Structure 1
């Protein structure tokens, strides 16, 4: 199979796996009403995704080193279909929790295997290009699923079987079969199936930045739509979630022209700035500010921070790329889930707006602390000249 076609099919597979992840997001409030649950339950269901993903990263992040890259990617596609079919047949909060767990397992398998596989197809000398393709495909997938469902609901009206679900059911099985036809360029190793993540030396700040950035994305995807629904703006949920990721995709070519440290530093500036603008939009019920803030946080999360971090750990662990990617996503998904669950509880106690304000304060403090630690670490690590 020609290399460009292999790259395209692998990227399409990664896109489809992540497309399924947020496919159901515009229907969160519907599933919540079906089961008569509040904001805490909705955020717990959202974060159940990490309940499936984290054990996969912690224990199976290096699985593809043993069994090859193709099987985990094919399995991830199957899990996306199963999770979505479950929501169609048994809509409700309990099914949403189970579906999100399955989607988390699939994402963990696909992203670790896919990053290593893309580099092996393109060659070690193009590791940063491979990282760019993976981040682009997954960014479009994470955002595209929510947008597709939002558009489908706009066309069809209220339904629990939007066209976006049907698209997944049609495409994913074909890609599952195609995955086994991709070239076998990797060399499976006789290693343990259960392998812990690797955290390459000197990359802690990239992991911390991912945790901070993706906590903001998690809030935008899980909590902000609840506030929009309260203000009769629920129809914009799909677009908000799409922009929360797609704007970052648009910034990735710019990030590629920067050094990893430069991209990371810019991300630290944009993360709190964007969320403050978004928060002001929620406060003033101004949709334009909500969308603008969402785009800025997306630029930080899925543009500069995501690409810089994935490229850095990939370069620093050439012989353990799958496990190093797993280590990076351990950071990212701790940030993605825990603040969202905490904010859901705060929303039930004090209201959604107050929960967003508390998160914004915590975010600013955390950003300042991480930047100060990074600066001190950089000074200590700099070579001394006499």
Structure 2
């Protein structure tokens, strides 16, 4: 993540070009969701997670061997396949291993911690490597990631897996259990904001002469969100979503102001709020609502539904905002983006408030 703007500048791409390479990940996940969402129910959890590890390792290899926007797009496709396999399979596997009445919530917390925590730690580690060891590419963290994948494969291969029935259809659409659509679309808003923060915000700051300021604020955002998951994860799912929506909007406003005025305090304050809302409140709320509303084999499809909507948010708002930054300038693009998110969050809150607790 700290090298996104470097790749874009090297290949002559602006905010729109970076967004296009970035969203290859979300597009891949959306297209393959009908196959990957319920695949673990047919062939087992273990094969899906092992395949995801291989795709994740190959993505890093691609960036290590040929860094640039084209390799970033290839890597994002491979990461999309990896997350498509992990999202439903690993969440359902965690629930299988946990067992008991709280299995769904425990699985949601584990998956959210692993997703957000690794994202924040990986970016921060690469920033540290670039600062300590210079800007030589690839940074040492790329090779460490490949080594970590190689070490995880034999560990995952020994975990107990339930026997697949073999009776599940190959193509299964992601599921949205009754009462979970609004919380799932809260993730569209959440990852829409984080997607813009990962693409247009660093591009704007890099163009102003601050290429490392954006990644630093983003790592802080994600790590604060990871910590918030552990503090807030035991609240009821509906309450988590209702709290997360206004916190997300306030955080997004501060991030936008910090970007336009090159203010680190505003970026860090906004990042803390966005991270808490996106990865703490809304992510946990959506996954918990889906896991609690589903059971057994439907858990994988329900988790896949959450990730499908979330990754649509990772795809559409960043692309439109990146293109708008190139066409109309950062102020107009960010203002329009925030207004659209405000309308969406207000509508989702209204739906959630009408539902019985």
For 1:368, the equivalent position in structure 2 comes to 346
Q: Which of 38, 43, 47 is the matching residue for 1:67?
A: 43
d(CA) in 1 for partners of 2:14 and 2:260? 21
Corresponding residue number in structure 2 for 1:109: 85
Deviation at 1:186, TM superposition (A): 5.2
CA displacement at 1:242 relative to structure 2: 1.6
Match of 2:195 among 218, 223, 234: 218
Deviation at 1:187, TM superposition (A): 4.2
The partner residue of 2:52 within 53, 76, 79 is: 76
- Alignment TM-score, normalising by the size of structure 2: 0.95
Gaps of 5+ in 2: none
- Report the counterpart of residue 235 of structure 1 in structure 2: 212
Instruction: Calculate the TM-score normalised by the size of structure 1.
Output: 0.88
Once the two structures are TM-superposed, the CA of residue 200 in structure 1 deviates from its matched residue by 0.5
Contact 1:131/1:311 (CA < 8 Å) preserved in 2?
Answer: yes
Q: CA deviation at 1:130?
A: 2.2
User: How far apart, CA to CA, are the structure 2 residues paired with 1:117 and 1:56?
Assistant: 20
Partner of residue 251 from structure 2, selected from 257, 274, 281: 274
Q: 1:309 aligns with which of 286, 290, 295?
A: 286
Structure 1 window deviating more from structure 2 (142-151 vs 183-192): it is 183-192
Does the CA-based 8 Å contact 1:76-1:106 persist in structure 2? yes
Determine the C-alpha separation between the residues in 1 that align with 2:241 and 2:159. Answer: 34
* Alpha-carbon offset, residue 205 of structure 1: 0.9
For 2:337, the equivalent position in structure 1 comes to 359
Shift of 1:369: 2.1
Aligned residue number for residue 322 of structure 2: 344
Question: Aligned residues, how many?
Answer: 355
In 2: Cα distance, 1:293 partner to 1:89 partner: 35
Secondary structure of the corresponding residue to residue 234 of structure 1: coil
Aligned to 1:330: 308
Distance 1:185 1:29, change over 3 A: same
Instruction: Give the aligned CA root-mean-square deviation in angstroms.
Output: 1.6
**C-alpha distance after superposition, 1:285-335 (max 9, x if no partner):** 211101110110110000011111101100111121001111111111111
Q: Say if 1:214 and 1:333, in contact at 8 Å, map to a contact too.
A: yes
Residue 127 of structure 2: aligned partner: 150
Deviation track 1:199-246 (CA, whole Å, cap 9, x = no partner) reads 101111111111111111111111111122123322233322222322
Larger CA deviation: 282-291 vs 179-188: 179-188
- Cα deviation digits, residues 141-172 of structure 1 (max 9, x gap): 12222112111111121122101101112110
SS in 2 for 1:141: helix
The within-5 A match list for 1:1-386 is 25-127=1-103, 128-185=105-162, 187-319=164-296, 320-375=298-353, 377-378=354-355
Identify the range of structure 1 (279-288 vs 292-301) with the bigger mean alpha-carbon deviation: 279-288
Is 2:251–2:270's contact at 8 Å kept on the other side of the alignment?
A: yes
